[in-house]
Amino acid sequence: MAKILLVDDELTMVQMVAEVLRADGHEVWPFTNANSVAEALEERHPDLVITDLYLDKTKPHGMEIIRKARSLNPPAVVIMMTGFGSVESAVEAMQAGAYDYIEKPFKLDELKLCVQRALVYTQTVHENTLLRREIRQKYGFSRIIGASSGMQEVFRMVERVADTSTTVLILGESGTGKELVARALHFNSRRTHAPFVPINCSALPENLLESELFGHRKGAFTGAIADKNGLFHDADGGTIFLDEIGTMPSQLQSRLLRVLQEKEVRRVGDNVAVTVDVRVLAATNENLERLVKEGRFREDLYYRLNVVPIVIPPLRERREDIPMLVSHFLKDRIHARSGRPLQISRRALDALAAHSWPGNVRELENAIERALVLADLPLLVVHDFPPVVQGLAADDDGAEHDEAAANVEPVGAAPASDPMAGSTASTAASTALPGLPQTILSLRRFSRDQEQAYIQHVLRIANQNKEEAARLLDISLATLYRKLAEEGV
């Protein structure tokens, strides 16, 4: 069963088609002119749009409807009905993004078949989107937590450059999440199905790093017993992540520069260069500009890598992210002995937020892991954390064991589904999570989530009485029902 929006200026045509589609179990919203179609598209998000091309015999409104339908998120599939049998308009309709067209007059069976095909297509697209979303969740934005303005800027940059081939230089202290950002860039690009190849440039001595990166021919040096492809070759079509680029020896810097300029790789001991299509991401916790000034890093390579810099601020400059990170690391964890979900005390959370975290998010993550092992209770308390953190805790008024910090609900769940929770709980938890998602959503999606959460809140106040809730919300009952039906969209 699908939601179908149907537009044609001939009333009898609309009635007939609507009847046939309804008989097949579809929900049909009929329109006989273009007037309110655009709003209906935005509000109702149909799965399929069937529209006539000419709605008043003079202007091809159908084209605008296609464009509008395709701009929705997710885009609606469109079938165009052409009355004039004109090949050009059919071609134009397909170019504008229509999935199919059907020429009038048509047999109803023909239309049914056409609709069926379009819906199968929608279903496949939907499944693909879900699969892709799964991959994204694994490596994508949603694994990077942070609502601070510094992290929002990081998200904005990642979103802007992910699906380009530009070289990105990721800068940040140790443990700030540079590799996480590199993965998000790769898995949100069209290279996502090709390899992501990380290499730590400080982990190998110069000659090994060289053959690791570029490969070698058999006999090129002692120990080269067979031909070997380098990582640039392995990453063909995908992304190579050069971590700790600041430690790369200068001779290799020159070779890397050549690869970046010529987009081809020559194995050690080989005369022939091979073309590769590899996106380069690099990261460092060093001050590359200073290395350039000191003559330890090639200036031309620096400029070549620094096309787009993404700077991840240290955790101490975005302490507001600490509670969210803590809840992220505690999410789905249970206390081994009692089997109960783990929580953290208000006092411990405040102490964590006060620490300066020289090892950044990694250090915080390790502190939580350690506490998980040591904890006596399903409630983490100050003495489960390292002495530096304990030293930052407020005086113990004896209440610590009784009170879990209100903000350590599983990340996202409480604030996103119930924005009111934050305000009612704010007396108990002064640093409660703001009602903000930890990932970037489109404004429309965010507004819709907030709206849905608020509607649910008012419904609870009204004891699930929809008429009462509609009155409180000052909307018609029909609007309330429509909005509730949108919830799962």
Ligand X SMILES: Nc1ncnc2c1ncn2[C@@H]1O[C@H](COP(=O)(O)OP(=O)(O)OP(=O)(O)O)[C@@H](O)[C@H]1O
Q: How would you class 142 by CB atoms within 10 Å of its CB: exposed for 0-12, middle for 13-18, buried for 19 or more? A: middle
Q: Of ligand X, Mg ion, none, which one sits near residue 175, judging by CB under 5 to 8 A according to partner kind? A: ligand X
Q: What angle do CA 380, 382, 386 make, to 5 degrees?
A: 105
What's the closest the beta carbon of residue 271 comes to Mg ion, in angstroms?
35
What's the closest the beta carbon of residue 229 comes to ligand X, in angstroms?
26
Q: Which is nearer to ligand X, 204 or 377 (CB)?
A: 204
- Tell me the angle at which helices 250-262 and 206-214 cross, rounded to the nearest 10 degrees: 10
| Residues 248 and 201 sit within 8 Å (Cβ to Cβ) | yes
Q: Of ligand X, Mg ion, none, which one sits near residue 247, judging by CB under 5 to 8 A according to partner kind? A: none
Tell me the CB-side half-sphere exposure of residue 426, using CA atoms within 13 A.
9
Contacts (CB under 6 A) with ligand X, residues 155-174: 172, 174
CA distances from 143 to 68, 386, 439, 471 (A): 32, 26, 8, 40
362 touching ligand X, by CB under 6 A: yes
Q: Of ligand X, Mg ion, none, which one sits near residue 142, judging by CB under 5 to 8 A according to partner kind? A: none
313 touching ligand X, by CB under 6 A: no
10 touching ligand X, by CB under 6 A: no
Q: Which is nearer to ligand X, 172 or 415 (CB)?
A: 172
Q: Which is nearer to ligand X, 431 or 450 (CB)?
A: 431
286 touching Mg ion, by CB under 5 A: no
Q: Which is nearer to Mg ion, 184 or 276 (CB)?
A: 184
| Residues 103 and 93 sit within 8 Å (Cβ to Cβ) | no
419 touching ligand X, by CB under 6 A: no
Q: Which is nearer to ligand X, 223 or 309 (CB)?
A: 309
Q: Among residues 62, 146, 323, 412, which is the contact residue for ligand X, using CB under 6 A?
A: 146
285 touching ligand X, by CB under 6 A: yes
Q: Among residues 9, 153, 179, 320, which is the contact residue for Mg ion, using CB under 5 A?
A: 179
What's the closest the beta carbon of residue 438 comes to ligand X, in angstroms?
8
Site string for ligand X, 175-204 (x = CB under 6 A): xxxxxx------------------------
Tell me the CB-side half-sphere exposure of residue 271, using CA atoms within 13 A.
0
CA 67 to chain centre: 25
DSSP string, 405-461: -TT-SSTTHHHHH-HHHHHHHTTT-TTPPPS--SS---HHHHHHHHHHHHHHHHHHH
| Residues 178 and 312 sit within 8 Å (Cβ to Cβ) | yes
What's the closest the beta carbon of residue 140 comes to ligand X, in angstroms?
12
Q: Which is nearer to ligand X, 195 or 198 (CB)?
A: 198
Tell me the CB-side half-sphere exposure of residue 28, using CA atoms within 13 A.
22
Tell me the CB-side half-sphere exposure of residue 220, using CA atoms within 13 A.
20
483 touching ligand X, by CB under 6 A: no
How many whole angstroms separate alpha carbon 382 and alpha carbon 394? 10
The tokens describing 407, both together, are 């903000």
DSSP state of 238: S
Q: Of Mg ion, ligand X, none, which one sits near residue 144, judging by CB under 5 to 8 A according to partner kind? A: ligand X
Size of the site for ligand X (CB under 6 A): 17
How many whole angstroms separate alpha carbon 489 and alpha carbon 486? 5
When CB distances to ligand X are compared, the closest residue is 177
323 touching ligand X, by CB under 6 A: no
Among the listed ranges 39-47, 111-119, 357-365, 373-381, the one in contact with ligand X (CB under 6 A) is 357-365
Q: Which is nearer to Mg ion, 203 or 374 (CB)?
A: 203
DSSP state of 132: H
Residues at the site binding ligand X, with contacts judged by CB under 6 A: 144-146, 172, 174-180, 285, 325, 328, 361-362, 365
Residues at the site binding Mg ion, with contacts judged by CB under 5 A: 179
